[in-house]
Chains A and B, each alone.
Chain A
Amino acid sequence: MDGPSSKIGLFVWDQGGRLGRAIDLAFLLENLSRAKGIGHCSIVEDPLAPGGLSPVTEGLEKGEFGRVLWVGPFSLEQQEVLRQQLAKAGLNPFLQEWCDLEEQGVCDGEVDQEARQRKALVLVQMALARTRLLEPLVPVEIPASQSVLIVGAGVAGLHAAVSLARLGKRVHLVEKESGVGGKVASLHRFYPRLCDPLCGLEFALQALIGSEMVEFHTLSRVTSVDGGRGNFHVRLTKAPRYVSEDRCNGCGECSRVCPVAIPLTSEGHRSKEYLHALTVRAIHPASPMPFPSAYVIERAYCPPDCEECLKACPSSAVNLEQEPRELELSVGAIIVATGWDPYPLNRVEEFGYGAYPNVITNLDMERVLSSNNRPPRTIGFVQCVGSRDDRHLPYCSSVCCSVTLKQVLYLKQKAPDAHCYVFYQDIRSPGFQEELYQKLKETEGVTFVRGMPSTVRPHGDTGRLRLRVEDTLSGREVNIEVDLLVLAGGMIPSRESEELAGILGLPRNSLGFFESHLQCHPEESQRSGIYVAGCCREPMNVAASIESARHAAMEALPFLNGSVLIKPMYPVVDKTKCDKCKRCMEECPFGSFYFDEDGFPTPHLGRCRQCGNCVGICPLGAISLRHLTMKQMAAQIQAASASFMGKEEPTVLAFLCQNDAYWAAREAVKRGMGVPPNVLFIKVPCAGYVNNALIADALALGIDGVLIAGCEDGQCHYVKGNQLVRKRSDDLSDKLRKMMIEPDRVRFVNLEIRDSAKYAKVMRLFVQELKAMGLNPFKI
């Protein structure tokens, strides 16, 4: 195309005069003014001052050029200001390019003037090569839903719902039980204020009930999810309640006539009076919390042909023929709050859970405390059962110590004569909970024993249990008989978390909890638009779950605005080149690819994070990122191959990931850490972007060495781009050998953001080794 928009306006801003002192700027500009496609070439004085941009805006108006290349040390903020100001003058922001000579070492006084001059020219030529191929791009707006799906209506799910409903978003709360509240609703009290969970959860519920923005889907499960952020298509299955939610008002007439009583305690525990056998009728209020108010029927327990509840109901709410239903929803974001399950303590056989009726878990203990029964005289608590244990759960579940302290406190309030023993390895009562711990230590009838029993034995025929421990603090043997033994067990991710992980394609860590970047982005999962809150992420207490939920809600908000703006740097697959090998689909760290109608892999714009790993992985180079295309890269590499260092010096082309490696390199040059002048670098979004073809090209054009610098393992901003590029090195070595190029001319290095010294050292060594290897035979 030969119109005005294809010509380039080149402007140099010598901030601080450093460039002018380092090289002959006038000479440089003279060379450049003859370059292909240049419409204008000059130095500007302070383009950010009022009127300073007029040379550029006038040139644009006159049609001298249609795109701009800036040369000089522009900061990111300055670049943004220029983009905005020139956008007002009608220049598409993607038709601008920046070339910083300083950060590439051109102002390094140690280097020979001639070499510096030539290097400056090469660098600008590289930038020009790209600028010629820039396209005017516009962000893509995809319509998005203003609804959010929250899976799990426990304390985390409810609070996330509150946050979002308040902001006018439509909330779909999906819950597998007949009622909301989750595990917290089955607790007796939760710390630190020993609140009744029904009271605490009421606060959240009040904000949700009656809100037309909130829809509860109880007895429901998610069966499939398609799509990406802004546009998820969700399918739910709703199990039959057998009671109409519209008609039932919770009067309870049905329960009174129901002939079936279902026991709630396990058979092994029913024999003890304080573990009073609780039962519930087959038709009963929603559980764990009686919201929604409609009752529910455990149909499996109904005797054949029994219709007592149907007959008794004054509101005709019972429907014994109800069938499961399917529902489809469209949502912009998903919050997963599927919570936890207790680790099954019967697996820790030495403590006899399930074998002795008076051995219970800390969760069972909540029920004991809720009942009106008088607790027994002597109660033992054993901490860390099945936790911090290589044979069971290796981690600490954070809350169990606080739970035990709370239960001891409550027990002493309820039965001041009771004696409690707490057997522990460590008591973890962080922050302000220290006060509770100190208070209990001074309480009469509470004994803390630092020593773990390893088993439990029946004490004769009394039914009591005997524990023998070494009190490690004194080294003495201690034998204690208790009436009741409470095992403080840990938390594991709930079964629903596992199921959902499969449906959503969410990775989990080795312990089964949802994988997230714990420090920087705790609630963000690896799927855009899907957030994870509460105990399904890691064990935490109620207060932390609520905070986590609120955070997840905040993170989800941008996808609930009716539309999502996608930056136009997304990948595009060239269908004429693609052979559908699917490697992009398999390696994309975010699972963004799907098959389009023609069977070609295509990235879902809502899921894609624009890292460019697909560009790197494609063996045919068929994928390009718009605004950083393979052609643009190839053109830059071609320009870089011009020699500037003289016949005997090797040239190194470095691809630096813009997250950590680039900053390390920049700092290394700025602080004069001895980066050799032989180095030219190109910024890439991720080390994984670097396609083998680009490396081979560089070497075939005479560049002596290529270095790819990415982040350290575990720190890559796109999960594993730094590893993906190394994985391809075997193929690359084969390719290079076929071209008669030594594979040793290619190096990979991992850098942290402050590894400037490491970068400088690596470069120095590389240049030395290249000198020893001899120059690239392809060098002109």
Chain B
Amino acid sequence: MRYLYYPGCSLKGTARDYEESLLAVIPALGIELQELGKWRCCGASAARAKDSKWARALASATLAIAQDYEMDILMPCSSCYANHVRVLLETQKGEVPVELTGLRRIPRVKHLLEVLAQDLGPDEIRGQVVRPLTGLRVLPYYGCLVGRPFRLGGTESVENPQALERIVQATGAEALAFPWKLDCCGGPILFSHERVAIRLAGQVLKEAVRLSPHCLVVVCPLCHLMLDGKQRAVEKEMGQRFGLPVLYITQLLGLALGLDPRRLGMHRLITPSETLLARLGRP
């Protein structure tokens, strides 16, 4: 299966390990990625707060480059994904005239989770697993934007999606039921209202550790930054130790596929994952 790859700004910076692990696992999963040339930032939520035309132009630019290829676009970041799908739907419904977006053909945009859970499917993944993560208690965390307001793949539930659970289970690990899995991590307001953001991340982590997981798994670089990178600051704010490793779904997959943790960028995680790796019998 071939996809155009739109990484988004974070995957070239603070979420470098997300890209690393993604590129590491795709051969085994039979996926080929071609990075979109000259892609530009999706605008996050800042663009729409300034000027809706500008925000639409940013996303349209990506879609315009992509329309000449026969492939769907794969996006690992939930924010990028939501921004592009929004413009896509507006154009399809005719709310925005095609001249404004400059699109001849409307390509499809898919979040990585959608590709893994629907295009590929848990059965395919299970077939490739060589080191099943038996006994690992994993807490799936979706964050806000991957399943709402646009249903993932058009079919998943908005209140209780199960796509991530299915993939976690395919690796042999146990996917714990986590009622807070869609609660906001605070990412978008990190730089403007830091304390509030940290407390939001804190609530997620607080409820998470209550269920005694071995790790949390995420599908968005901003969520990862809040829950992994800022975990020390959160602990200070909440007055509670968490020490919870936070992995990208691609890293979890990579471990199950028997790949070397270094190849998956596990050494770049801020919250130490040695105990986790030891539990899995890995160096």
Residue numbers of A with Cβ under 8 A of B are: 349-350, 355, 455, 457-458, 460-461
Contacts and interface: CB of A to CB of B under 8 A. Distances in A.
A349 B159 contact: yes
Contacts of A457: 179-180
12 contacts: A349-B157, A349-B158, A349-B159, A349-B160, A350-B159, A355-B160, A455-B159, A457-B179, A457-B180, A458-B179, A460-B210, A461-B210
Nearest to A352: B179
A461 B160 CA distance: 21
Interface of B: 157-160, 179-180, 210
A777 B179 CA distance: 81
A494 B160 CA distance: 28
Nearest to A349: B159
A87 B239 CA distance: 102
A630 B272 CA distance: 94
A460 B210 CA distance: 8
A68 B159 CA distance: 77
Nearest to A348: B159
B165 to A, nearest CB: 14
Contacts of A350: 159
Nearest to A456: B179
Contacts of B180: 457
- With most chain A CB atoms within 10 A of its CB, the pick from B157, B158, B159, B210 is B159
Q: Which 7 A-B pairs have the closest CB atoms?
A: A349-B159, A350-B159, A349-B160, A457-B179, A349-B157, A458-B179, A460-B210
Contacts of A355: 160
Interface of B is mostly: loop
A355 B181 CA distance: 15
Nearest to B179: A457
B141 to A, nearest CB: 15
A458 B210 CA distance: 12
A458 B211 CA distance: 12
Contacts of B158: 349
Contacts of A460: 210
Nearest to A455: B159
A350 B210 CA distance: 21
Given A349-B160, A460-B210, A461-B210, 6 more contacts: A349-B157, A349-B158, A355-B160, A455-B159, A457-B179, A457-B180
B142 to A, nearest CB: 14
A421 B157 CA distance: 29
B102 to A, nearest CB: 33
Nearest to B159: A349
A333 B160 CA distance: 49
A349 B157 CA distance: 9
A460 B209 CA distance: 11
A460 B157 CA distance: 25
A312 B11 CA distance: 76
Contacts of B159: 349-350, 455
Contacts of B157: 349
B91 to A, nearest CB: 24
Nearest to B210: A460
A455 B210 CA distance: 20
A263 B160 CA distance: 28
A349 B162 CA distance: 13
A462 to B, nearest CB: 12
Contacts of A461: 210
A350 B159 CA distance: 6
Contacts of B179: 457-458
Contacts of B210: 460-461
Nearest to B180: A457
A458 B178 CA distance: 10
A355 B159 CA distance: 12
Nearest to B177: A355
A739 B270 CA distance: 88
A460 B207 CA distance: 8
A337 to B, nearest CB: 36
Contacts of A349: 157-160
A271 to B, nearest CB: 16
A281 B155 CA distance: 41
Contacts of A458: 179
A350 B183 CA distance: 13
Nearest to A355: B160
Contacts of A455: 159
Nearest to B211: A461
A461 B157 CA distance: 26
A513 B271 CA distance: 58
A390 to B, nearest CB: 14
A466 to B, nearest CB: 10
B169 to A, nearest CB: 18
B151 to A, nearest CB: 12
A20 B182 CA distance: 88
B98 to A, nearest CB: 29
A458 B207 CA distance: 10
A460 B158 CA distance: 24
A482 to B, nearest CB: 16
Nearest to A351: B159
A238 B179 CA distance: 47
A686 to B, nearest CB: 40
A350 B160 CA distance: 8
Contacts of B160: 349, 355
A359 to B, nearest CB: 12
Nearest to A461: B210
A355 B177 CA distance: 11
Nearest to A458: B179
Nearest to B160: A349
A33 B222 CA distance: 100
A350 B179 CA distance: 10
- With most chain A CB atoms within 10 A of its CB, the pick from B157, B179, B180, B210 is B179
A461 B179 CA distance: 13
